[in-house]
Amino acid sequence: MKTKVLKRSEIKRNWYLVDAQGKVLGRIASRIARLLTGKDKPQYSPHVDCGDYVIVLNADKFTVTGNKMEEKIYYRHSFYPGGLKAINLKLMLEKSPEKVLYHAVSGMLPKNKFRARRLKRLKLYLGNEHPHQAQLPKIIRI
């Protein structure tokens, strides 16, 4: 028996619609990362980017468990001495709420050459409306 190797011309990308309202941040991020990598497809290959497009509605209305609103901290550095900046989850949601879900999904994707390409297929929207009606996205219940 021979193993079928997926070619770039054989990739078929689907569109999925996810509503994040009331869902736990980590659980929804892991499901989105799985769709972006294409691991749900039977023809998945780690060396071929065969993932799908994911539209997330209400990207700011997720929930977190425990004391993460006050205790979870996001760090960034300016690469200058003393340039370490820190912000907690509560302030990050006030400043830019879609970045929280983007950061969570980014951390769950494999750290390889496909990561940036997969993140471009993630579409985050703060409300219930999105401009991708023509793609006829399939609704995913998480």
| pLDDT score of 142 more than 90 | no
- Average pLDDT in the 108-116 region? 96
* Mean of all residue pLDDT scores within the chain: 95
CA 15 to CA 35: how far, in whole Å?
10
Instruction: List the domains of the chain with CATH numbers.
Output: 13-64+97-140 (3.90.1180.10)
Rg (CA), the chain: 17
Q: Residue 136 above 90 pLDDT?
A: yes
pTM, full prediction: 0.93
pLDDT for position 53: 98
| Secondary structure, 3-state, the chain | CCCCCCCHHHCCCCEEEEECCCCEHHHHHHHHHHHHHCCCCCCCCCCCCCCCEEEEECCCCCECCCCHHHHCEEEEECCCCCCEEEEEHHHHHHHCHHHHHHHHHHHHCCCCCCHHHHHHCEEECCCCCCCCHHHCCEEECC
Structure confidence at residue 106 as a pLDDT band (50, 70, 90): very high
